[in-house]
Amino acid sequence: MASSLESLNRWVEEVAGLTQPAEIHWCNGSDGESRLLKEHMLARGDLLELNQETHPGCTLHRSSPTDVARVEHLTFICTREREDAGPNNPWMDPAEAHAKVDALFAGAMRGRTMYVVPYCMGPIDSPLSRCGVEITDSPYVVANMRIMTRMGAPALSRIEREGRFVKGLHSTGELNPDKRFIMHFPEELTIKSIGSGYGGNALLGKKCHALRIGSWQARSEGWLAEHMLIVGIENPEGETHYIAAAFPSACGKTNLAMLIPPESYRKAGWKVWTVGDDICWMTPGEDGRLWAINPEAGFFGVAPGTDRTTNPNALTTIQRDTIYTNVAVTSDNQPWWEGLREGTPVKDWQGRDHDPANGPAAHPNSRFTVSASQCPSWTPMAEAPQGVPISAIIFGGRRPSLIPLVFEARDWSHGVLVGAAMGSETTAAATGAVGVLRRDSMAMKPFCGYNFADYFAHWLSFDKPGAKLPKIFHVNWFRKGADGRFLWPGFGENLRVLEWIIGRCEGRTGALETPIGLVPDSTDIHLDDLGLGPSAIRELLEIDAAGWRREVDAIGSYLDSFGARLPDRLKQEQQRIATALAQSRPVAQAASA
């Protein structure tokens, strides 16, 4: 191979010497290679064929019952200085981490094929994209990486041109939870993962590279790697605004990325375009705006809860050429999970005869892996090398009280504080405790590859002369009334809120100034055909000053937990809002719908 690939070849040889595979296969990403790999996995039982009449090209993978989700307590950031990892990350000294994990890798691939997987995160010709190479002994991982990234010969050619790449070493090992580690070495642009074959633990291009290592790269290179969807909203005049949005889990992220407009909006000519559902890389352009790409080529989505009511676009997307993981199956071998209104499971996610006494038929974290281009709302702009310009950034969480349906940050500094403070309150169904607030800054708590205080400072650094930064908003689809029911209908109706947000970006929609930011008057959002009563509308948009004073005090305590590295500007913003709240009067909302 070319001399510029010598470092890659040396690394592959070193890994082979350590792991001792039976053979080495360099993946080219071709259709023929994919077909042979699939046949190999079907023959071995790694994949099971589903009903090819109803789900052509679809297969099922069942993982070990002890290997079904991310393992945050075994996921380490290994920087030379502990403080660089920050209080938001488990930390291990790099020398100790290498020694610990390399001892597990020794001989781990005996009798197995070692796959070398060159990949590109982002469109192959985009200057915003970054490349990596994953070495793995899991054909299941190879098959998923082919869907989730631009994998194979084109990526290898780009690596040859650029001479740089993120190194990712993975082995399923013994699938032993006691011998499972996901180690990140940001200063070395290296990932080492062993003992798991599941999703983000094993598909190293996803959370490991695109967020944990990516966020470190982004800080050093002057861009942002974020846990955000990217969605385009096209108005009846044919103008499209692109929005990036960050939500913690269970807050409707994928649903918003694939939103279908309400009928009245569809008839008026509104359209929604999906660029990405999970990760967003944003870079300042020459025009001062932030331009974004989705570094992924596929969706690795949670199956339970996906149905024709919640997300019809997602359900349509996964009817063909999809890898399902840990779902149940029906008597005629169709995939099934809780939330589907059709079909009855006969085998659960472990392949046992379905018995409700064993728990859900599909694992609650069961997944689908599918090409993003199969989504009915996918846009070719997802492949645009320059990316798409971001008009607005939205943060949001699951808050049954206090937080209004939507508010706008007064400026970039305030917006960074809004993102830093975001979080969700737990429910009894999920945790056994109601109202426990878990802060998850920018939805990045499990994924930021360095100290959150430095991360906040990096966000603030984009506010400089000449910058034309997106406006920042916060939404809350989950506010409840006194009867415990959601006040807002959600799903497609969320477009009404996005319409107001776009109007604010264009400077043509009104808002009321409050101590916490700019809030729409009820007449600023199109609510007249929703059937919401005046009291519900008032409650959705009200600002409870006393409650917000307590909230802002709690935000201050949270910020203090990051110590001396916390930017003074962020603390000053929190104190500015506290002062404004102390002097505030109730904000009157129009009661009309």
Q: Nearest 5°: CA angle at 189, between 175 and 451?
A: 90
> Could you give the CA distance from residue 169 to residue 164 in angstroms, rounded to a whole number?
16
Q: For strand 298-302 and strand 150-151, is the pairing parallel, antiparallel, or unpaired?
A: unpaired
207 labeled binding residue: yes
The answer to whether the annotation marks 161 as part of a ligand binding site is no
Helix axes 568-582, 452-460, angle to 10 degrees: 80
Q: Residue 243: which of 229, 227, 260, 259 has the closest Cα?
A: 229
110 assigned binding-site residue: no
Q: Please identify which of the residues 58, 78, 131, 251 carries the catalytic annotation.
A: 251
Judge whether 250 is annotated as a binding position.
yes
* 254 labeled part of a ligand binding site: yes
Provide the greatest CA pair distance for the chain. 73
Query: Which of 516, 557, 530 shows the shortest CA–CA distance to 408?
Result: 516
Q: Which helix (H) or strand (E) holds 394?
A: strand 388-396
347 known ligand binder: no
Strand partners for 121:
130
252 is in an annotated binding site: yes
φ, ψ at 69 (rounded to 5°): -165, 170
Is 253 annotated as belonging to a binding site? yes
Active site residue 78: no
The answer to whether 238 is annotated as binding is no
Residue 377 marked as a ligand binder: no
Task: Give whole-number Cα distances, 524 to 239, 499, 515, in Å.
Answer: 20, 10, 19
In degrees, to the nearest 5, what angle opens at C-alpha 63 toward C-alphas 59 and 65? 140
Backbone angles phi, psi at 362, to 5 degrees: -100, 145
Question: Is 227 marked within a binding site?
Answer: yes
**What distance in Å separates the CA atoms of residue 386 and residue 513, rounded to the nearest whole number?**
36
Residue 200, marked binder: yes
> Would you say how long the chain is, in residues?
593
Angstrom CA distances, 214 to 88, 101, 280, stand at 16, 22, 11
Phi, psi of 230 (to 5 degrees): -130, 125
Would you give the end-to-end CA distance of the chain in angstroms? 68
Give the closest residue to 232 by CA, choosing from 241, 221, 223.
Answer: 241
Q: Is 198 annotated as a binding residue?
A: yes
Residue 355 counted as an annotated binding residue = no
Is 365 among the annotated ligand-binding positions?
Answer: yes
CA distances from 549 to 54, 282, 406, 425, 520 (A): 55, 33, 18, 18, 21
- Of the candidates 502, 517, 500, 527, the one whose C-alpha atom is nearest the C-alpha of residue 591 is 527
Among candidate residues 490, 500, 446, 527, the one with its CA nearest the CA of residue 184: 446
Six-digit token pair at 59?
A: 């297969």
Q: Is residue 131 marked as binding?
A: no
Alpha helices in 318-368 (DSSP H): none
493 among annotated binding-site residues: yes
Beta strands in 44-95 (DSSP E): 48-49, 59-61, 75-77
Residue 451 is assigned to a ligand binding site: no
Q: Tell whether residue 249 is among the known ligand binding residues.
A: yes
Residue among 376, 314, 370 nearest 339 (CA): 314
User: 143 Cβ partners below 8 Å, 6+ apart?
Assistant: 34, 37, 38, 41, 47, 323
Q: Which residues are annotated as a binding site for Mn(2+)?
A: 207, 227, 278
Q: Which residues are annotated as a binding site for GTP?
A: 250-255, 367, 398, 491-494
Q: Which residues are annotated as a binding site?
A: 70, 198-200, 207, 227, 249-255, 278, 365-367, 398, 491-494
| Residues annotated catalytic, as ranges | 251
Q: Which residues are annotated as a binding site for substrate?
A: 70, 198-200, 249, 365-367
